[in-house]
Amino acid sequence: MTKKIIRIIAHTPSENVEAMRQSVIEGALSCNLQNIKILYSSPFNIAHGDLLQSDGIILGTTENFGYMNGALKDFFERIYYPCQGLMEGCPYMLFIRAGNDGAGAKKSVEAIASGLKWRKIQEPLICRGPWNTNFLISCEELGKKMALGLDVGIY
């Protein structure tokens, strides 16, 4: 049986953000679904050929200078034209860690995802303000939701 691939693409410049990424992965893995494969990597290490082999995408970024972080921007700059027209409807989710805002990171990612015609399956998770361990629970739920939704075929 061909497994559905969830690709988690996040740059994690701090311990907190790395913990968020881990929670997303753990959430997806916790469902223990035979039909689902979870792959994760830094935005710097993904080529467009890899991306095309994805059934669902989870992006993670910090907000830096009112925008997505540079690593995720580099990723989009490399894959945008090679993937244009080839990933229509691909379900995606986004989690953001922001010191005090997050709106700029959200807007910047959504504009590009919309250009690629990816399908947003929930409002981005924005973890803003002082660090709170509840952020990890939200990240876990996000990973779980993608895994379960792909497994039952609703995404």
Ligand X SMILES: Cc1cc2nc3c(=O)[nH]c(=O)nc-3n(C[C@H](O)[C@H](O)[C@H](O)COP(=O)(O)O)c2cc1C
Can you give the binding site for ligand X, defined by CB under 6 A? 14, 16-17, 62-66, 97-102, 131
Number of Cβ atoms within 10 Å of the Cβ of 49: 10
CB nearer to ligand X: pick between 4 and 21: 21
CB nearer to ligand X: pick between 65 and 81: 65
CB nearer to ligand X: pick between 14 and 35: 14
CB of 95 to ligand X, least distance (A): 11
CA-based nearest residue to 122, from 143, 104, 103, 108: 143
Q: Please, is 27 exposed, middle or buried when counting C-beta atoms within 10 Å of its C-beta (0-12, 13-18, 19+)? A: buried
CB of 142 to ligand X, least distance (A): 16
How do strand 67-68 and strand 56-64 relate by DSSP bridges? antiparallel
